[in-house]
Amino acid sequence: MYLYLDGARLGSALVADDNDLTLSDIASLVDVFYLGGTKNGALLGEAIVICNPDLQKDFRYHLKQRGALLAKGRVIAAQFLALFQNNLYFKNGEHANSMAKKLVDGIRSSGYKFLTESKTNQIFPILPNSLIKELKNDYGFYVWSKVDDNTSVIRLVTSWATEETAVDRFLIDLSK
């Protein structure tokens, strides 16, 4: 059995406060993983990393046979070259996590609890349904699950592009 790691949010995971893995560690532990691009600063694309030599054989052929080989793949690759210069990939993850932490601190100081504790850029506060209805008028988020008749869990996700002013505005509206 092969081990594959979905790396859509790998940038945020690798710079999380409690994380002790490096990108090299990931490569030594899995057969295949990918680096999420769009959720960490790229315009489009992911970079697949095949660590198991047995899976590398004929990979380009299989891509081409299934219509996935891009004629201008270098354009996508150029984004990853830029993201890994001067640790931009990790700095983007750190920014996303710090904006999420600011949200957590503000939501908690407003008296609300969380479904789970998160060290990355996805958080799950439990809010009154009436407040959720008001917040939905100005913010995009997903209602994760119903807790009871009066409260639900929402999923908030920050990114490399989340502006601190947007976080501040959300926290002000939350406290009204």
SS3 assignment for the chain: CCCEECCCCHHHHHCCCCCCCCHHHHHHHCCEEEEECHHHCCCCCEEEEECCHHHHCCHHHHHHHCCCCCCCHHHHHHHHHHHCHHHHHHHHHHHHHHHHHHHHHHHHHCCCEECCCCCCCEECEEEEHHHHHHHCCCCCCEEEEECCCCEEEEEEECCCCCCHHHHHHHHHHHHC
Residues 169 and 142 occupy one common structural domain: yes
Q: What is the pLDDT of residue 62?
A: 79
Residues 52 and 99 occupy one common structural domain: no
Domains held by the chain: number: 2
| Residue that is last in its domain, among 47, 63, 88 | 88
Which of the two residues, 168 and 59, has the higher pLDDT score? 168
pTM for the whole structure: 0.91
Query: Percent of the chain scored above 90 by pLDDT?
Result: 85
CA dist 152 and 173 (Å) reads 18
Residues 80 and 100 occupy one common structural domain: no
Q: Give the pLDDT confidence of 50-83 residue by residue, as tens digits.
A: 999 999 998 888 777 777 767 777 888 899 999 9
Residues 30 and 80 occupy one common structural domain: yes
Residues 53 and 109 occupy one common structural domain: no
| Residue that is last in its domain, among 51, 71, 88 | 88
Please answer whether residues 4 and 31 qualify as being in contact, where contact means their C-beta atoms are separated by less than 8 angstroms: yes
The arithmetic mean of pLDDT across residues 93-97, rounded, is 98
Q: What is the pLDDT of residue 19?
A: 96
Residue 146 belongs to a domain with what CATH number? Answer: 3.90.1150.10
Please answer whether residues 158 and 103 qualify as being in contact, where contact means their C-beta atoms are separated by less than 8 angstroms: yes
Q: What is the pLDDT of residue 80?
A: 94
Q: Give the pLDDT confidence of 105-152 residue by residue, as tens digits.
A: 999 999 999 999 999 999 999 999 999 999 999 999 999 999 999 999
Residues 68 and 124 occupy one common structural domain: no
Per-residue pLDDT band at 31 (split at 50, 70, 90): very high
Residues 61 and 106 occupy one common structural domain: no
Residues 109 and 138 occupy one common structural domain: yes
Residues 103 and 27 occupy one common structural domain: no
Per the structure, the complete domain to which residue 102 belongs is given by 94-175
